Amino acid sequence: MDKPKITQAMIDAYDEYTHLTLDRRDFMRKLQLLAGSAGAAAAIAPLIGASAAQAEIIAPDDDRLETATTTYRGAPGEISAYIAAPKDRPGKLPTVIVIHENRGLNDHIRDVTRRMALEGFLAIAPDLLSPSGGTPANEDQAREDISKLDQPMTTSNLMAAMAFLKTHPRSTGAIGAVGFCWGGKQVNLLAAAAPELKAAVAYYGAQQPPVEDVPKIKAALLLHYAGLDDRINKGIDAFKQALDADKKDFQIFIYDGVNHAFNNDTSAARYDKKAADLAWSRTVEFLKQKLV
């Protein structure tokens, strides 16, 4: 059977469903209209969404890595986190906090954390849904739970991760952060809240903090955006002007012709390997330069 044709309008509808006001039923109704039939919509929906079956590039038991689930003190209680480090790099390592999308800490983000560890970092991915009981298996529930999180508490829990890493026996104390989608926004907010953060990488993250808080940012910034991501990209100009005005250390890259979440290789329709590979190479090089 031929692969279903996926249009930009279908991808935009999915973005509206996962980030704005469209619920699952209305998304499928809209997708059916765009696809021409209920059967075609049912075939297309999994291609646009994320597939847990495709979540692994680096196996969880890869013998090059040491991995574990750990906890650190946060608010209002313990925060669970996934941590990974390379076995062939004894001693202390520069450290990267990996901040998940609005789906929570899932297998894809654990996989990204392992990829980061293989680049020579101590990598940790907090489950920022820990205050509400942890990331649920159901993605719709995870998105709903994330929408209810208290933002100051979330930022506080990321700063608590930094405090935990400052004294971790494998950490040099040089800490950066990389976040995706909702996590990209959290990276930007963390950069304004934590002057000791040395490097911040945001993939298609909303431009936060407010421009008046930009002077608080001390970290070097690397900002990746998708060319077709109109919802997020409308905030780039004002953010860039504020960063320029305060003479911040930042780089902005816009990847033409690709969609929001282009780095997420579990989404067949939105993933773009060329853009993802280029952005990843820039991210790794940037973190290695800044976390010294």
Query: What pLDDT score was predicted for residue 1?
Result: 46
What value, to the nearest 5°, has the Cα angle with vertex 106 and ends 276 and 85?
A: 75
Q: How many CA atoms lie within 13 A of 86 on its CB side?
A: 15
Query: What pLDDT score was predicted for residue 117?
Result: 98
Is 260 tagged catalytic? yes
Query: Among residues 177, 203, 180, which one has the least CA distance to residue 192?
Result: 177
Query: What pLDDT score was predicted for residue 3?
Result: 65
How far out from the chain centre does Cα 259 lie?
15
Query: What pLDDT score was predicted for residue 55?
Result: 55
Return the CATH superfamily for domain 60-290: Alpha/Beta hydrolase fold, catalytic domain (3.40.50.1820)
pTM of the shown model: 0.87
Is 237 tagged catalytic? no
Query: What pLDDT score was predicted for residue 21?
Result: 63
Is 181 tagged catalytic? yes
Positions of E strands within 181-245:
199-203, 220-226
| Alpha-carbon span 104 to 128, nearest angstrom | 7
Domain ranges for the chain, please list them: 8-48, 60-290
Query: What pLDDT score was predicted for residue 53?
Result: 47
Q: Which of 111, 260, 265, 272 is catalytic?
A: 260
- The segments of the chain whose pLDDT lies below 50 read 1, 53
